[in-house]
Structure 1
Amino acid sequence: MRESIVSKIAACMAVKGEVQTDQTEHRVKLAESWGIEAGSKILEIGCGQGDTTAVLAYFTGKKGHVHAIDIAGPDYGSPVTLGESREYLLASSLGKQMDIQFQVDVLADNVTFPEKHFDYIVFSHASWYLRSADELASILKKSRSWGKKLCFAEWDPAIQHVEQQSHILAVLLQAQYEAFKVSSESNIRSLFTVEDIKDIIEGTGWNVVKEESIYSPKLKDGEWEVDMALEFAEDELKQLPEIPGKLKKLIQSEIRILQRNKSMFPIRPLSTIALTAE
């Protein structure tokens, strides 16, 4: 049953092949965990290329609707830009069940929605892109009045399998030098643990009612983060002279550990924590 659902949704995406199928399957697991019901109104914050948007549109069905927003511009993203992905999605069989807007800063004064307008507020695999815990808290606090339930997902830094070690190490070393940047377009800008996220969620007026760990070992995100760190970390350090010398040495040692891990073990992605709050 799930395989058939995944196939139908993946066919609506601009990117084709096994990688997209695996990404779609992971997000179907998230939607199942959150209990997305048919006919729902959904606000998705940080939609990116629409991997989760398409799944939400499928689950809410023809009587529901997904309003998806992202702060990035339509030219952002690779190998397919956000704009190209949007065009493909809107022309698909799910297109009438969604609208997608880019360059939308949810914290801007002119961005607002009526109270309880949405059945679900979805924030999926987007928190590590943010500049700080304060920014995450501000987004969750502002959107609290807009929806009845919060559906949240992010990688869980607590590894459960040795093959996940490289993923979290790549994340940690990137997060260390990202802490010294004023602006960034990196995938990893902040690192939040599950405990951090739950504290922020509940500190902004939501109450976590469900939590589930989801492991999707076929995802390539761990490999992508490792390759990103190994390709760019040294150059990033050179461009940030304000980083203390001792910390630079530490990060360089972490790079060597990561290189060794990559040669010794297969790379698997971290598990994902799926949270539902009311």
Structure 2
Amino acid sequence: MSTPPTIHDLDGIAAIYPHEPEHFSIVRAQVQQRAQLVNTWSIKPGEKVLEIGCGQGDCTVVLATAVGDEGSVTAVDPASLDYGSPYTLGQAQVHLRASSVGHRINFVQADPIGFLQSSSEHYTTAVLAQCSWYFAAPHVFSDILAALLDRVDRICISEYALTSTDYRAMPHILATFAQASLECRKTTSTANVRSMLSPEQLRAAALAVGLAVKAETVMQPPEGMLDGSWEAGYVASKSFEEDVNKYVSDEREKAVCIAARDSVRAARDVLKAKGDRVHTMDIWVATFAKAG
């Protein structure tokens, strides 16, 4: 097995993550953003990290690189192992387990609260990296924080900021509101935006369960990060309109969803006319610890 990369070797970390050769630049940008988070949070060698909402493991592999052979990452996600594209959670996790940092990772398919209730393990750091919008309802975020309160030394959170210092990310911001206006009409969902919470709401939820802010910042994502383009592309697609017609019956609510779709298309067209493309919005990054 090859030697594990260092946290500064972004190409080496990206090479570990499952990808087709022609998609390396996409993976590399994702890894770069996760490395920005890990460096901002000062994840150290030897740490025992609990990652909530690990998905296919793009942040997991960076965390595993940062903690070294003396550390560990327990990566928890409730999603089915056949969920996800272009690689499912199961495929990605098998690939990462077989990598040079795989021995540092323990993937767990479980509800985070149920997992915490079934174990007494203590962790140095809990990480929730851009996962809160996947939760079925806003209270799930608060419930997870409450369950973590006495189980970790600190909690590190990142989420999209709903603002951007780069005008090219405006279609991404508009697209998230368009998706949220649709998703709140569904009883169940597998979409990327299920419970949209602003940084202010996330911070307030943390304070309400007894946490205190230790550090907070907003960062710009790497140029090559395509999340904004993907989200805007979905909202501008025929599939979004079909979902609106399927799930939204009220005439006024449907009009809001379609108007939001049109706004995304128009903002994207402005960029296209300038020879540019959609970028990803800013990301809010914070560290919390138990108050007192």
Q: Give me the TM-score of the superposition, normalised by structure 1.
A: 0.94
| Alignment check: 8 A CA contact 2:7 2:62 kept | no
Q: What stretches of structure 1 of length at least 5 have no aligned partner? A: none
Matching of residue 255 in structure 1 with residue 266 in structure 2? no
Return the offset for 1:144.
1.4
| Alignment check: 8 A CA contact 2:54 2:75 kept | yes
Matching of residue 212 in structure 1 with residue 217 in structure 2? yes
What SS does the aligned partner of 1:154 have?
A: strand
Q: Give the number of aligned pairs.
A: 275
- Aligned amino acid, residue 52 of structure 2: I
Q: Give the whole-Å Cα distance in 2 for the aligned partners of 1:151 and 1:236.
A: 34
Which stretch shows the higher mean deviation, 155-164 or 165-174?
155-164
The residue aligned with 2:202 is 197
What SS does the aligned partner of 1:273 have?
A: strand
Q: Give the whole-Å Cα distance in 2 for the aligned partners of 1:213 and 1:165.
A: 16
Matching of residue 168 in structure 1 with residue 173 in structure 2? yes
Q: Give the whole-Å Cα distance in 2 for the aligned partners of 1:105 and 1:52.
A: 19
The residue aligned with 1:75 is 82
Query: What is the identity percentage for the equivalent residue pairs of Structure 1 and Structure 2?
Result: 28
1:126 aligned to 104, 109, 131, which one?
Answer: 131
The residue aligned with 2:274 is none
What SS does the aligned partner of 2:113 have?
A: coil
Q: Give the whole-Å Cα distance in 1 for the aligned partners of 2:229 and 2:7.
A: 24
Q: Give the whole-Å Cα distance in 1 for the aligned partners of 2:37 and 2:7.
A: 15
Q: Give the whole-Å Cα distance in 2 for the aligned partners of 1:56 and 1:273.
A: 18
5 Å-filtered alignment, 1:40-189, equals 40-102=47-109, 104-108=110-114, 111-114=117-120, 117-189=122-194
Return the offset for 1:2.
8.7
Q: Give the whole-Å Cα distance in 1 for the aligned partners of 2:167 and 2:76.
A: 36
After superposition, give the CA deviation of every residue in 1:114-166 in whole Å (9 maximum; x if it has no partner). Answer: 26x10001111100111222111011111211110101011100222211110
Q: Give the whole-Å Cα distance in 1 for the aligned partners of 2:159 and 2:66.
A: 20
| Alignment check: 8 A CA contact 2:245 2:254 kept | no
Q: Give the whole-Å Cα distance in 2 for the aligned partners of 1:7 and 1:87.
A: 20
The residue aligned with 2:233 is 227
Matching of residue 37 in structure 1 with residue 44 in structure 2? yes
Q: What stretches of structure 2 of length at least 5 have no aligned partner? A: 272-276
| Alignment check: 8 A CA contact 2:7 2:35 kept | no
What SS does the aligned partner of 1:226 have?
A: helix
RMSD: 1.7
Return the offset for 1:241.
4.2
- Aligned amino acid, residue 30 of structure 1: L
Q: Give the whole-Å Cα distance in 2 for the aligned partners of 1:129 and 1:189.
A: 5
What SS does the aligned partner of 1:157 have?
A: coil
